[in-house]
């Protein structure tokens, strides 16, 4: 019995997925499907760049999803019983594709639109994010509350692991929160290079656009439960999945709670499917009793399938 984890934005890198396409026909087909669904050469951008274009929110999101699904398709027959899936922010869409709730082409178009909406929101109401390391969740929550005022709001955005949170909001409030976090004893408190205040109320202007996009696609019940970022709980209903994915834009990613929920269900083994190993590292900090293997390169896939 295994849980599948799918990475979010920030895991992209130049050359991602190229070795998979060179060794596996299923991967080649997956990237070709992605190019056709989006109407441009996403795979060429993934492999050849320019890197700054790949990092753009509306390109990084479909690139990571395509990479994750390419890996999933190759190893699907070797997985055995999948107990559940979870994805970090964008990765939640990948989880629903793998669970059969959302068509791959529809998902690609949706996350590309999601990325555009998030970028536009960042331009309409500029904001930023910051990483806070070495403080308890409750302390970071208090810092955000104290730093929020009429001229700006800041909230916890990513509960990534114990002592590792990301905050998000108006720049002036985030800057105040950084200073307050340092005064509270944070090991590190630093602003991130992002195009907007993701997972905060500042993304509210993007909700209507994402809801409109999701109304165009069919969302079935997943074959296995997906853990919602918003609720940190099991989702087995397609309509509920849609609703929570819209709320996710302005809500915190409750990743630590999500991993505890999976462990409480008796799952010991996790697989991170897609580029990088960020989620594998986070899980080690959340629960050292869990076993997680990152599978994203051709070598890692070949090792897994034997």
Exactly one of 43, 89, 94, 161 is catalytic; name it.
89
User: Has 89 been annotated as catalytic?
Assistant: yes
Enclosing H/E stretch for 146: helix 137-147
Determine what percent of the chain falls in helix, strand and coil, rounding each to the nearest 5. Answer: 50, 20, 30
Exactly one of 199, 228, 251, 258 is catalytic; name it.
199
Helix 104-124 to helix 57-75 angle (10° resolution) is 150
Return d(Cα 164, Cα 136) in angstroms, integer. Answer: 8
Listed in sequence order, the residues at least 6 apart from 127 whose beta carbon sits closer than 8 Å to its beta carbon are: 168, 169, 170, 171, 174, 196, 197, 200, 202
The candidate with the shortest Cα–Cα distance to 49, out of 20, 16, 24, 23, is 16
Phi, psi of 152 (to 5 degrees): 170, 150
Catalytic residue IDs: 89, 199
């Amino acid at each position: 019995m295994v849980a599948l984890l799918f990475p979010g934005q920030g895991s992209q890198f130049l050359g991602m997925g190229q070795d998979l396409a060179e060794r596996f026909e299923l991967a080649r087909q997956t990237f070709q499907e992605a190019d056709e669904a989006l109407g441009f050469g996403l795979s060429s951008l993934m492999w050849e760049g320019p890197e700054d274009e790949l990092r753009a929110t509306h390109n990084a999101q479909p690139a990571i999803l395509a990479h994750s699904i390419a890996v999933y398709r190759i190893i699907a027959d070797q997985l055995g019983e999948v107990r559940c899936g979870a994805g970090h922010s964008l990765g939640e869409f990948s989880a629903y594709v793998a669970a059969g709730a959302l068509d791959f082409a529809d998902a690609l178009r949706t996350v590309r639109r999601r990325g555009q909406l998030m970028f536009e929101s960042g331009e309409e109401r500029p904001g930023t994010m910051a990483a806070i390391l070495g403080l308890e969740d409750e302390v970071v929550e208090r810092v955000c509350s104290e730093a929020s005022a009429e001229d700006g709001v800041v909230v916890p955005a990513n509960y990534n692991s114990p002592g590792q949170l990301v905050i998000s909001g108006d720049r002036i409030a985030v800057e105040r929160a950084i200073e307050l976090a340092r005064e509270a004893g944070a090991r590190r408190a630093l602003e991130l290079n992002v195009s907007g205040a993701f997972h905060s109320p500042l993304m509210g202007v993007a909700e209507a656009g994402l809801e409109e996009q999701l109304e165009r696609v069919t969302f079935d019940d997943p074959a296995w439960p997906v853990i919602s970022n918003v609720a940190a709980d099991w989702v087995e209903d397609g309509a509920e999945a849609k609703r929570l994915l819209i709320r996710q834009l302005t809500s915190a990613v409750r990743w630590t709670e999500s991993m505890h929920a999976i462990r409480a269900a008796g799952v010991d083994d996790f697989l991170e499917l897609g580029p990088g190993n960020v989620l594998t590292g986070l899980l080690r900090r959340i629960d050292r009793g869990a076993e997680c293997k990152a599978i994203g390169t051709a070598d890692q896939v070949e090792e897994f399938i034997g």
